[in-house]
């Protein structure tokens, strides 16, 4: 983690972000090459999570939007026609005030913004909802993880319900906010045809805003982190899905049908 | 714009070309400028291999298998000193060969080259079970002096010590210095007879009759060049070709160019034997034949395939010591391609594509060392195709054309070895190994005492005696040791190049360049990342010294975290920059042979392993004997912010001082570049664009998973063609030593989860 100089916060109310880490070369977290900021803190407890070290809230490196942007713009030459800034986590929406400040300032510098979220903090309650609406004004594209279409299984898998996630997607559809949908394929947890078919049908209802649908095969590279944190690994001996099952999921989710990302213009429509 | 047609007594040969200055004097660049055919399309037009090419390639692959099985050498001469005409013609399978010519009379047989040094030539033979010949020994000790003998006649005790204790390593004092890029197209464009006439004129124009040392030297050298040109004609005639005249067809153009290269590798076992830059030039000949219906695309590809096949067959016999430094039989047949012209036109031609296609037609191979001179303005289709080839077989290196064109003032330059630009018509580099910067840090702490041998090697200055290292005290002492390194290093090179010119002059290569040349004096740095991190640790990390019973620092402990090179952190990146400039400035205070212009490189090739082996534990926590990171790469494990932060750190090393090149070896897993082939290509293109735009100089790109390497190490038989780019060149993974394989495995492969 880069060592940022600690800002003296005076009378100004500058929202601080709590950062887990920075990846300067993200090429699978949004269109093009992206500077990916991983924020600290998440309230979901996904069994397949490979970054349990990002769960705890209120810790991490304190940064201001200005510090991040000053660092990020150094990489602008690598971004090509599509790349830019992605904020991921943890769960990025848990730090919505910082996010708004960051994306708003990013847009004034002409930086393309991407939000990577699972939507868990979403609510229509105020004042949060209007904060979210403001954030969406500065967000070019969002990557939304749908963990499980089946609510009961979602609760088992993540510790949380999924209704508000669908509410967020409904908002995005209504406001033409473009998204990529990502789905982690975990044998014995999400890799059931019945769920995949339902999910595929659901995604179809969002078609106008879905630029891309990706199946992310579960992998076991997170296991060592659990050991380091002294946690039990919840998926025990579950192995990554077979290529056949990955293909099957891609078929059931109609991944090939969503190709708008290829012509992604990069910028939010004016 | 159609220019006036070429008219001359050579009309027959030049019909169809646009005329220009190139007709008045020898000027290949002007010919290319006037006749270049740019190509903006994609790879769709390319042809596969002919059956003849495939058959030859199969034979060659079988021979390589035998060579590996025989312990690395298939056959070797021990009693014929190599010259242009020492061997009769050799073939793989004569009837199938469109481009002919071998170094000796049999494929992969290694010639005996004693002029650089007899000991090294004999040791190499004996290492592979070939006896040294007593007559040769008598000739090259009693009757004919070698370069090596000359050097040791003049070395000072200090130079021998610096060499022995590996503060300076890899000096070309026992073999050819290499790194001269002949202007090979001259043979095809003008024919040897015309080149001889021009050299005779030059010979007459040296000086004003006053026989100063410089005049004498140049007169003798040009006379040797004329002799070499005549020898080339005899050599070509033995293959049934008359190269007295210019090439008439594309087939002749490729063949003539290859004869020029063959002349070089028959007579010099230089550390790097570059091919230069021939894509735009040969394309003009191919284009002319295609337009006249004399050639088909399949035949054009066959010519390029077979030319490249020959470049893959060049061999020198080396000692095991040398192989530890540079594994896998590299000869750096570096082939620079693409790039932009000074006039803003790119130089991508269909032949640039054809050369890349050879990797598919004949399988991946380390040679020639394909080097793309990159500029953001190159056509997108070409960039994408190059990225595809990189992802498929990791055989390409990318270099910043913009930086080099500006620095060297010409668009007709090639790459000598890995990263060293050289104007092809009139530039020459004196190659000069590397100084060990990380070891110099230890000498500063230990008062010039070598940390491994405990011998006083550097100047005996008071060592640092305090428990914690004080930054100011350290820097003052470091300065003293670096002064000494600069002095002994530059002067050892002065000895080497004087003797090399005298006893092992490269007449065959220099005959194909202008008679009046600009020289650069190349030096190099190894261990830059470890030196920078060590000094950063001393400055920011509060470093405690752990000493042995003799009071020599053998270990270090940093109490605090400190910035490490490779994270785009100014504080330490500035230290790395300072080190390069400091050494440069110190070396530049000295006399440089032939009034050459000083240049330095941050490049180690595979020697980072050997340099590390000979260096004690450094204050950044690198343990004694562990490999350095290659070239300008950050120390393994230092990078915490991903690949681009790492790239921006290396991009800061100023090319202005390191004009001999700044090498970055970049490893990445395919998944990290993107989920689909199209995404991966685009990511790679954007990455190279971004690096070059930030003034990054060089990128070796390796795209594979560490698992592949682990499997290849355990079962090399399953991965005979797995190529890996190491700092500055490309090598079959199976040909690396176990230690080097481990080193490649230990490197950072950027991956995201």
Evaluate if residue A154 carries a pLDDT over 90: yes
Average pLDDT value for residue range A238-252: 94
Please report how many Cα atoms fall inside a 13 Å half-sphere around the Cα of residue B86, on the Cβ side.
20
* Residues of B at the A interface, defined by Cβ within 8 angstroms: 561, 563, 567-569, 640-645, 648, 671-675, 678-679, 682-683, 685-687, 689-691, 693-694, 750, 752-753
Report the helix count and the strand count for chain A, using DSSP H and E: 8, 8
pLDDT-based confidence at residue B2 (cuts at 50, 70, 90): very low
**pLDDT tens digits, one per residue of B739-753:** 888 877 777 776 654
**pLDDT tens digits, one per residue of B322-375:** 777 777 778 899 999 999 999 999 999 999 999 999 999 999 998 999 999 999
Q: Do A25 and B687 touch (CB under 8 A)?
A: yes
Closest CA of chain B from A211, distance in Å? 15
Evaluate if residue B405 carries a pLDDT over 50: yes
Token pair listed for B425:
């018509």
**pLDDT tens digits, one per residue of B520-556:** 999 999 999 999 999 999 999 999 999 999 999 999 9
Evaluate if residue A253 carries a pLDDT over 70: yes
Residue A15 buriedness (CB in 10 A; 0-12 / 13-18 / 19+): middle
Residue with the bigger pLDDT between B499 and B735: it is: B499
Closest CA of chain A from B748, distance in Å? 14
Report the helix count and the strand count for chain B, using DSSP H and E: 28, 20
Going by DSSP bridges, is the β-strand pair B168-169/B723-726 parallel, antiparallel, or unpaired? Answer: unpaired
Nearest-angstrom CA–CA distance, B486 and B593: 14
Nearest-angstrom CA–CA distance, A52 and A54: 5
Q: Which residue among B568, B683, B753 places its CB closest to the CB of A27?
A: B683
pLDDT-based confidence at residue B728 (cuts at 50, 70, 90): low
pLDDT value for B1 = 41
Closest CA of chain A from B692, distance in Å? 9
For residue A45, count other CB atoms closer than 10 A to its CB. 13
What was the ipTM of the complex prediction? 0.86
Active site residues of B: 417-418
Evaluate if residue B237 carries a pLDDT over 50: yes
Alpha-carbon distance values, B33 to A64, B27, B115 (Å) = 53, 10, 39
A39 forms beta bridges with A19
Evaluate if residue A72 carries a pLDDT over 60: yes
From the list A157, A144, A137, the residue with the least C-alpha distance to A206 is A144
Evaluate if residue B9 carries a pLDDT over 60: no
Q: How far apart are the first and last CA of chain B?
A: 53
Nearest-angstrom CA–CA distance, B539 and B574: 12
Q: Which residue among A24, A33, A214 places its CB closest to the CB of B686?
A: A33
Q: Which of A63-72, A257-266, B149-158, B525-534 has the lowest mean pLDDT?
A: A257-266
pLDDT value for A270 = 37
> What is the pLDDT of chain B when averaged over all its residues?
93
From the list B395, B385, B392, the residue with the least C-alpha distance to B685 is B385
Going by DSSP bridges, is the β-strand pair B749-750/B665-668 parallel, antiparallel, or unpaired? Answer: parallel
pLDDT value for B591 = 97
> Is A220 an 8 Å CB contact of chain B?
no
**pLDDT tens digits, one per residue of B575-625:** 999 999 999 999 999 999 999 999 999 998 777 888 999 999 999 999 999
Token pair listed for B534:
């060590």
Task: Give the best residue of A22, A28, A54, A77 to mutate against chain B (max B CB count within 10 A).
Answer: A77
Q: Which residue among B672, B675, B750 places its CB closest to the CB of A214?
A: B675
**pLDDT tens digits, one per residue of B309-323:** 999 999 999 888 777
pLDDT value for A9 = 53
Nearest-angstrom CA–CA distance, B622 and B624: 7
| Dihedral, B160, B164, B165, B169 alpha carbons, nearest 10 | 100
DSSP conformation letters of B695-712: T--EEEEEE--HHHHHHH
pLDDT value for A12 = 64
Q: Which residue among A33, A80, A221 places its CB closest to the CB of B753?
A: A221
From the list A179, A70, A194, A59, the residue with the least C-alpha distance to A114 is A179
Closest CA of chain A from B635, distance in Å? 16
Residue with the bigger pLDDT between B327 and B559: it is: B559
Nearest-angstrom CA–CA distance, B47 and B358: 10
| Interface contacts (A, B; CB < 8 Å) | 86
Q: Which of A46-60, A145-159, B619-633 has the lowest mean pLDDT?
A: A46-60
Closest CA of chain B from A22, distance in Å? 6
Nearest-angstrom CA–CA distance, B283 and B294: 14
Q: Which of B353-357, B389-393, B417-421, B602-606 has the lowest mean pLDDT?
A: B602-606
Per 3-state DSSP, chain A is made up of helix, strand and coil in percentages (nearest 5) of 40, 20, 45
Q: Which of B85-94, B315-324, B435-444, B475-484 has the lowest mean pLDDT?
A: B315-324
**pLDDT tens digits, one per residue of B647-662:** 999 999 999 999 999 9
CATH architecture of the domain formed by A9-261: Alpha-Beta Barrel (3.20)
Secondary structure of B525-560 as H, E, C letters: EECHHHHHHHHHHHHHCCEEEEECCCCCEEEEEECC
From the list B673, B22, B56, the residue with the least C-alpha distance to B307 is B56
Evaluate if residue B155 carries a pLDDT over 70: yes
Please report how many Cα atoms fall inside a 13 Å half-sphere around the Cα of residue A264, on the Cβ side.
30
Q: Which H or E run contains B77?
A: strand B75-81
- Phi-psi label, residue B84: left if phi above 0, alpha if psi -120 to 50, beta otherwise: alpha
Q: Are B132 and B78 in contact (CB under 8 A)?
A: yes
Q: Searching chain A, which residue's CA lies closest to the CA of residue B568?
A: A2
Q: Give the domain ranges of chain A.
A: 9-261
From the list B372, B379, B309, the residue with the least C-alpha distance to B338 is B372
Q: Do B752 and A26 touch (CB under 8 A)?
A: yes
Which segments of A114-237 does DSSP mark as H helices, in order? 128-137, 151-158, 163-174, 193-205, 223-229
Q: What is the pTM of this model?
A: 0.92
From the list B70, B150, B83, B92, the residue with the least C-alpha distance to B113 is B83
Q: Chain A residues with CB inside 8 Å of B648's CB? A: 24, 74-75
pLDDT value for B641 = 86
pLDDT-based confidence at residue B704 (cuts at 50, 70, 90): confident
Which segments of B142-212 does DSSP mark as H helices, in order? 147-154, 157-164, 185-190, 192-204
B335 forms beta bridges with B276, B370
> Is A14 an 8 Å CB contact of chain B?
no
Q: Which residue among A2, A29, A51 places its CB closest to the CB of B641?
A: A2
Q: Chain B residues with CB inside 8 Å of A51's CB? A: 753
pLDDT value for A28 = 87
What percent of chain B has pLDDT above 90?
82
Q: Do A25 and B672 touch (CB under 8 A)?
A: yes
Average pLDDT value for residue range B282-301: 98
Evaluate if residue B703 carries a pLDDT over 60: yes
Residues in Cβ contact with B1 at an 8 Å cutoff, skipping those fewer than 6 apart: none
> What is the pLDDT of chain A when averaged over all its residues?
91
Residues in Cβ contact with B736 at an 8 Å cutoff, skipping those fewer than 6 apart: B327, B328, B606, B724, B726, B744
Token pair listed for B45:
């037009």
Token pair listed for A151:
């609510």
Q: Which residue in this structure is represented by tokens 């990791």?
A: B394
Average pLDDT value for residue range A180-203: 95
Nearest-angstrom CA–CA distance, B431 and B413: 17
Q: Do B683 and A221 touch (CB under 8 A)?
A: no
Q: Are B624 and B615 in contact (CB under 8 A)?
A: yes
Residue with the bigger pLDDT between B513 and A51: it is: B513
Average pLDDT value for residue range A242-259: 95
Average pLDDT value for residue range B626-633: 92
B519 forms beta bridges with B428
Q: Searching chain B, which residue's CA lies closest to the CA of residue A20?
A: B641
A169-198 residues touching B, CB cutoff 8 A: none
Token pair listed for B454:
């405990």
Nearest-angstrom CA–CA distance, B643 and B752: 10
pLDDT value for B588 = 97
Token pair listed for B744:
């490649």
> Is A223 an 8 Å CB contact of chain B?
no
């Amino acid at each position: 983690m880069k060592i940022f100089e600690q800002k003296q916060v005076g009378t100004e109310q500058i929202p601080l972000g709590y950062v887990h880490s920075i990846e300067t070369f993200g090429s699978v977290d949004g269109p093009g090459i992206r500077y990916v900021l991983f924020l600290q803190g998440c309230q979901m407890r996904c069994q397949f999570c490979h970054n349990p070290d990002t769960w705890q809230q209120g810790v991490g490196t304190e940064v201001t939007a200005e510090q991040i942007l000053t660092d990020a713009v150094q990489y602008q030459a690598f971004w090509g026609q599509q790349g830019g800034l992605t904020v991921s986590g943890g769960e990025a929406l848990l730090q919505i005030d910082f996010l708004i400040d960051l994306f708003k300032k990013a847009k004034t510098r002409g930086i393309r913004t991407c939000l990577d979220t699972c939507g868990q903090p979403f609510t229509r309650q105020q004042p949060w909802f209007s904060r979210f609406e403001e954030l969406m004004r500065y967000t070019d594209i969002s990557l939304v993880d749908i963990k499980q279409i089946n609510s009961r299984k979602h609760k088992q898998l993540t510790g949380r319900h999924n209704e508000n996630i669908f509410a967020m997607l409904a908002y995005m559809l209504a406001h033409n906010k473009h998204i990529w949908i990502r789905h982690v394929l975990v044998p014995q947890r999400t890799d059931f045809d019945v769920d995949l078919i339902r999910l595929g049908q659901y995604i179809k209802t969002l078609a106008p805003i879905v630029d891309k649908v990706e199946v992310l095969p579960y992998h076991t590279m997170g296991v060592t982190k659990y050991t380091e944190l002294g946690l039990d690994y919840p998926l025990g001996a579950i192995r990554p899905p077979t290529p056949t099952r990955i293909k099957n999921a891609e078929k059931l989710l109609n991944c090939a049908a969503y190709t708008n990302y290829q012509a992604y213009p990069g910028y939010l429509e004016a | 714009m159609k220019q006036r047609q070429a008219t001359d007594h050579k009309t027959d040969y030049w019909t169809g070309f646009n005329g220009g200055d190139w007709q008045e004097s020898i000027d290949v660049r002007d010919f290319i400028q006037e006749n270049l055919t740019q190509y903006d399309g994609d790879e769709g037009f390319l042809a596969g291999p002919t059956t003849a090419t495939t058959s030859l390639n199969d034979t060659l692959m079988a021979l390589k298998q035998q060579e590996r099985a025989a312990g690395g050498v298939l056959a070797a001469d021990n009693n014929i000193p190599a010259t242009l005409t020492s061997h009769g013609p050799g073939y793989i399978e004569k009837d199938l060969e469109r481009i002919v010519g071998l170094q000796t009379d049999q494929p992969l047989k290694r010639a005996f080259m004693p002029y650089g040094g007899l000991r090294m030539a004999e040791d190499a033979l004996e290492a592979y079970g070939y006896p040294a010949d007593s007559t040769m020994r008598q000739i090259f000790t009693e009757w004919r002096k070698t370069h090596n003998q000359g050097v040791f006649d003049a070395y000072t005790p200090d130079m021998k010590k610096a060499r022995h204790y590996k503060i300076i390593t890899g000096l070309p004092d026992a073999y050819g210095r290499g790194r001269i890029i002949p202007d090979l197209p001259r043979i095809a464009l003008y024919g040897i007879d015309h080149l001889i006439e021009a050299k005779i004129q030059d010979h007459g124009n040296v000086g004003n009759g006053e026989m100063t040392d410089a005049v004498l030297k140049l007169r003798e050298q040009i006379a040797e060049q004329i002799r070499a040109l005549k020898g080339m004609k005899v050599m070509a005639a033995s293959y049934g070709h008359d190269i007295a005249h210019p090439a008439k067809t594309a087939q002749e153009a490729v063949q003539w160019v290859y004869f020029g290269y063959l002349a070089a590798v028959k007579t010099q076992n230089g550390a790097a034997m570059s091919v230069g830059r021939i894509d735009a030039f040969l394309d003009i000949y191919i284009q002319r034949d295609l337009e006249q219906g004399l050639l088909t695309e399949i035949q054009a590809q066959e010519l390029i395939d077979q030319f490249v096949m020959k470049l893959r067959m060049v061999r020198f016999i080396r000692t095991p010591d040398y192989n530890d430094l540079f594994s896998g039989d590299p000869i750096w047949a570096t082939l620079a391609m693409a790039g932009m012209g000074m006039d803003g036109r790119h130089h991508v031609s269909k032949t640039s594509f054809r050369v890349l296609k050879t990797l598919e037609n004949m399988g991946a191979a380390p040679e020639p060392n394909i080097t793309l001179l990159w500029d953001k303005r190159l056509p997108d289709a070409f960039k994408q195709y190059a990225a595809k080839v990189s992802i498929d077989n990791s055989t390409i290196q990318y270099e910043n054309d913009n930086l080099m064109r500006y620095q060297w003032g010409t668009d007709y330059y090639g790459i000598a070895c890995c990263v060293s630009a050289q104007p092809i018509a009139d530039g020459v580099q004196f190659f000069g190994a590397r100084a060990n910067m990380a070891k110099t840090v230890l000498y500063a702490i230990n008062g010039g005492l070598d940390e491994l041998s405990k011998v006083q090697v550097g100047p005996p200055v008071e060592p640092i005696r305090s428990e914690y290292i004080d930054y100011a005290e350290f820097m003052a002492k470091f300065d003293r040791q670096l002064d000494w390194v600069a002095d002994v290093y530059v002067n050892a090179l002065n000895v080497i190049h004087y003797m090399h010119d005298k006893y092992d002059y490269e007449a065959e290569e220099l005959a194909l360049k202008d008679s009046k040349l600009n020289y650069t004096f190349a030096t190099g740095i190894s261990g830059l990342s470890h030196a920078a991190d060590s000094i950063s640790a001393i400055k920011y990390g509060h470093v405690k010294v752990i000493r042995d019973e003799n009071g020599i620092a053998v270990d270090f402990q940093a109490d605090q975290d400190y910035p490490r090179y490779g994270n785009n952190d100014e504080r330490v990146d500035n230290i790395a920059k300072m080190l390069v400039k400091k050494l440069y400035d110190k070396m530049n205070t000295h006399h440089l042979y032939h009034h050459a212009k000083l240049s330095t490189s941050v490049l180690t090739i595979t020697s980072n392993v050997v340099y590390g082996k000979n260096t004690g534990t450094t204050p950044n926590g690198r343990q004694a004997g562990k490999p350095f990171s290659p070239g300008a790469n950050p120390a393994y494990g230092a990078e915490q912010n991903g690949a681009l932060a790492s790239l921006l750190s290396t991009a800061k090393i100023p090319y202005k001082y390191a004009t001999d090149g700044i090498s970055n070896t970049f490893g990445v897993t395919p998944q990290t570049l993107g989920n689909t082939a199209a995404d991966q290509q685009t990511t790679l293109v954007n990455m190279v664009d971004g690096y070059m735009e930030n003034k990054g100089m060089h990128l070796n790109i390796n795209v594979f998973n560490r698992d592949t390497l682990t499997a290849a190490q355990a079962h090399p038989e399953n991965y005979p063609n797995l190529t890996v780019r190491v700092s500055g060149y490309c090598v079959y993974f199976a040909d690396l030593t176990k230690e080097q394989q481990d080193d490649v495995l230990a490197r950072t492969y950027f991956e995201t989860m």
